[in-house]
Structure 1
Amino acid sequence: MTPHWPLHGLSLCTPELELRPVTEADLPGLAVQLSVDLEVDPTATRYDGLSDADNRALALHQGYWRSVGTWRPESWALPFAVRHGDDVVGSQTLEGEDFPRLRTVDSASWLAPEARGRGWGVQARAAILALAFGPLGATAAVTSAWHDNGASLGVSRSLGYQPNGVTTHWRGDRPDEMVHLRLTREQWRDSPWRDRVEVRGFEPCRPFFGL
């Protein structure tokens, strides 16, 4: 951890996982875990002459550099590397737009194929919710997934998220439905996960969130 970027000293611990903010050293290991079914940010640059796998890896790298280089208390994205023991098994991102005023967070995540089906998606999401509703003082968390992404929607619903509308977006070569869900601070208080996550190293990070 550098004293000028204390976010790298954050740690979120669940019964089986530890989440720590992604560092540049994590990027190669995360890149090899990317699966072909992961939808890359549609605004990411695609480089002609490179393979699909290489373009995915570059999108991961550039997304990380963008999150660090454009960080402001009013607009931020904090990607975590999800670890099970010594193995990096995926990534979980917490995002805040106009956070000091709106106190609302969003999230995105992915797990390597071999890490799925073990309940780790729930634990990783619970970890960032504990950070959001705990020291960050968020009042609501929102999330979105395509209507046929049963795994993501299942994680959200198991943690108490409630329906928050459906919108239509362009997906590949056709329009499709995006499902939105929302979890309030009050609903999180009833979650059994509330007391199963330990947040470490937050205090030096307060100014970075406008707190």
Structure 2
Amino acid sequence: MLADLWPLYRLALVTPRLELRLPREDELAALAVLAGRGVHPPGERPFLTPWTDGGPEDRARSVLRGHWQRLAAWDEAAWALGLGVFRRGSGEPIGLVAAWASDFAVVREVATWSWLGLEFHSRGYGTEARAALLTLAFDHLGASAALSAVFRDNHASQAVSRKLGYAHDGITVDARDGEALVSDRLRLTADRWRTVDHPAVTVTGLAACRSWFGL
């Protein structure tokens, strides 16, 4: 089985409404098509990397390339875990979330990003999916902090971060479409995480791949 050679395929994070796991090829294709239909309203650009530029096929292929690149480049010293987000019961794909880290065994910090298909916005799925990633990071991998950098005009991501307890940790300045744009740098500590209400999350399949995270 593929999971015997690549045990990350056994890892699953289950919340009251969602299941997060590595997508199989047909599921990956469905996620790519979903991204092609749109992950944010027209006229917005909530991501620094302009992967949502171009037409539906360009966006879909960018999802495929990104997923394959994360798998191929995996290393315990510098890993990026990208998980498909599926609705429980139906298995309907609704988006993708990722956590990544460098020298995690020493630094104990992760960063995250995510996108949801436009039709699944404003239902609380983004908060639930990020809470699942944070549960994995803090409660099962022993992270000391989770980081995020969010454009100030990305109101949805800002709201999710506030709800989950992130605190302001400075700013970064990047070039976006020819102008300097300020992002808020946010940090959530393990101690703060333990005081925040969040959905219950069940993590399975981690034992077989703990060493893949440098543990």
TM-score, with structure 2 as normaliser: 0.89
1:179 shift after superposition:
1.2
1:22 shift after superposition:
2.9
Q: What pairs with 1:48-87 in structure 2 (closer than 5 Å)? A: 52-85=55-88, 86-87=91-92
Q: Hey, what does 2:209 align to over in structure 1?
A: 205
1:26 shift after superposition:
2.2
Q: Could you give the per-residue CA deviations for residues 100-137 of structure 1, whole angstroms, max 9, x where no partner exists?
A: 11110000001111111111111000000000001211
Percent identity reads 38
Give the aligned length.
205
Instruction: Determine the C-alpha separation between the residues in 1 that align with 2:168 and 2:23.
Output: 30
Asked if 1:42 is matched to 2:49, the reply is: yes
Asked if 1:175 is matched to 2:177, the reply is: no
Q: Could you give the per-residue CA deviations for residues 137-156 of structure 1, whole angstroms, max 9, x where no partner exists?
A: 11100011111000001001
Residue 143 to residue 40, structure 1, CA distance change in 2 (3 Å) = closer
Instruction: Determine the C-alpha separation between the residues in 2 that align with 1:30 and 1:40.
Output: 18
Q: What pairs with 1:151-190 in structure 2 (closer than 5 Å)? A: 151-190=156-195
1:187 shift after superposition:
0.6
Q: Which amino acid aligns with 2:207?
A: E
User: Unaligned regions of 5+ residues in structure 1, if any?
Assistant: none
Q: Hey, what does 2:25 align to over in structure 1?
A: 24
Q: What is the RMSD computed on CA atoms of the aligned residues? A: 1.8
Instruction: Determine the C-alpha separation between the residues in 1 that align with 2:66 and 2:48.
Output: 9
User: Unaligned regions of 5+ residues in structure 2, if any?
Assistant: none
Q: Hey, what does 2:125 align to over in structure 1?
A: 120
TM-score, with structure 1 as normaliser: 0.91
Instruction: Determine the C-alpha separation between the residues in 2 that align with 1:150 and 1:142.
Output: 17
Residue 90 to residue 177, structure 1, CA distance change in 2 (3 Å) = same
Question: Conserved in 1, the CA contact under 8 Å of 2:108 and 2:145?
Answer: yes
Q: Hey, what does 1:33 align to over in structure 2?
A: 34
TM superposition outliers: structure 1 runs of 4+ over 4 Å? 38-41
Residue 101 to residue 154, structure 1, CA distance change in 2 (3 Å) = same
